[in-house]
Structure 1
Amino acid sequence: MPQGATPDLPDLSAVDAEIRQLALATSASELHGALCGWLAGGGASLRDWPARVMVDPELAAPVEGGALDRLRITSAAQLADRSFEFSLLLPAEEAPLAERSGALFDWCRGFLGGFGLASGASPKLSEEAAEALGDLAKLAAAQPQDEGDEEDEAALAEIEEFVRVATLLLHGDCVLAAEHRQRLN
């Protein structure tokens, strides 16, 4: 990896395997959404993050260097990187549309939970970020459709990009703006 480049997320199957090992009742996409929501809402990037985002203090911290630990480190680095290289942990493009859209909606549900835990009931958000958060809530309530055509594929790609940008916007409002205010004081 070139110096300054953000690392890639661990493989979805590696994250899934570690989730099963820890007997977590969530999908890899939903857990990644919860982690990103936690980080975007101002939560700390700590090794015991699953216990925090799943609100279960009994959960063991992921193995250092394991898939869930790398997921945290990479997600935090991608969110902090100004090059907008942030990516969502979702099934590959070859997966059926229903599986990919379902995972995206799961990701949004996880994001909302993690974001709410970290940011509290009334985070300071710009009008755009508040609207984006509302749109993420609508996506979290959506249901995947069984079949689709090229138009549906294009729509899913647009929704993925929206979720990615909305996450960066919320992270900017809750984390980067707060860090900027601290530097000014």
Structure 2
Amino acid sequence: MAAPDFIGYDELDDVVVHLKLAATASELHGSLCGFLAGNGRPGKRPLLELLHLDAGGVTAAGRDQAALDLLVRQSQDELADPELGFEPLLPADDRPLPERADALVDWCRGFLGGFGLGGPQIHERVSEEGREILKDFASIASASLDFGDEDEDEDALIEVHEFVRMGAMLLFTECHLPSQPSSDTLH
């Protein structure tokens, strides 16, 4: 059986449940994307170790580890995609709105935690716009959601999703640019 070349939300959720992780699939993906955006370098270390999710002796092996390795490669490729093809891994659009909204909150929470693993020096590389995005991600991550008009709520979720998608790519790009000299003088 050939290994898949793409891991989706449901496949990642199966791995998370199988490994009994204390994170949702969306939070795990958000953590990975935050780590990568914060200039984290996976190297050969397993994903759960990178993100400090290996507490309690949780280790992935076999099919689970292969899925997590694929997730790392896929996320790196998508974040760096010049065609802006990155997508946060969230439940499908046919899932209930509250489930999808909660997953986006989890994704942002994970992103912030993963980004923080880049250390304090990474924040020096982030522009004012990038700092605003991080603040907005923090607001989303701590949001308590209320639902009213389903059409309005769906539109709002689409807007927030697009903001998060673009914000993650912007932060990734900023943190992967070569350091600029502090002088405005060209030599």
Instruction: Tell me whether the two structures share a fold, i.e. TM-score over 0.5.
Output: yes
Amino acid at match of 1:51: E
> How much has 1:21 moved relative to structure 2?
2.2
Where does residue 4 of structure 1 map in the other structure? none
Give the % identical residues: 43
| Structure possessing the higher radius of gyration over alpha carbons | 2
Where does residue 135 of structure 1 map in the other structure? 136
Tell whether 2:43 aligns with 1:43.
Answer: no
> How much has 1:149 moved relative to structure 2?
1.4
When the two structures are superposed, what TM-score results if normalisation uses the length of structure 1? 0.84
Where does residue 52 of structure 1 map in the other structure? 50
Amino acid at match of 1:156: L
Determine helix, strand or coil for the equivalent of 1:152: helix
> How much has 1:59 moved relative to structure 2?
4.2
Amino acid at match of 2:16: I
Amino acid at match of 1:20: V
Asked whether the equivalents of residues 51 and 61 of structure 1 are also in contact (C-alpha less than 8 Å), the reply is no
Amino acid at match of 1:141: S
Asked whether the equivalents of residues 98 and 147 of structure 1 are also in contact (C-alpha less than 8 Å), the reply is no
Alignment length (residue pairs)? 174
**Superposed CA RMSD:** 2.4
Deviations along 1:5-62, one digit per CA (max 9) or x if unpaired, are: xx97512221111112222111000000000000000111345122121354754355
Asked whether the equivalents of residues 109 and 140 of structure 1 are also in contact (C-alpha less than 8 Å), the reply is yes
Deviations along 1:142-167, one digit per CA (max 9) or x if unpaired, are: 12335541111011000000001110
Where does residue 184 of structure 2 map in the other structure? none
Asked whether the equivalents of residues 78 and 84 of structure 1 are also in contact (C-alpha less than 8 Å), the reply is yes
CA distance in 1 between counterparts of 2:21 and 2:149 reads 31
> How much has 1:63 moved relative to structure 2?
3.9
CA distance in 1 between counterparts of 2:81 and 2:61 reads 24
Question: Greater CA deviation, 160-169 or 139-148?
Answer: 139-148
Gaps of 5+ in 1: 1-6
1:141-152 matches, within 5 Å, as 141-146=142-147, 148-152=149-153
Determine helix, strand or coil for the equivalent of 1:69: helix
Greater than 6 Å deviation, 4+ residue runs: none
When the two structures are superposed, what TM-score results if normalisation uses the length of structure 2? 0.83
CA distance in 1 between counterparts of 2:26 and 2:79 reads 16
> How much has 1:113 moved relative to structure 2?
0.2
Question: Greater CA deviation, 138-147 or 150-159?
Answer: 138-147
Question: Greater CA deviation, 60-69 or 12-21?
Answer: 60-69
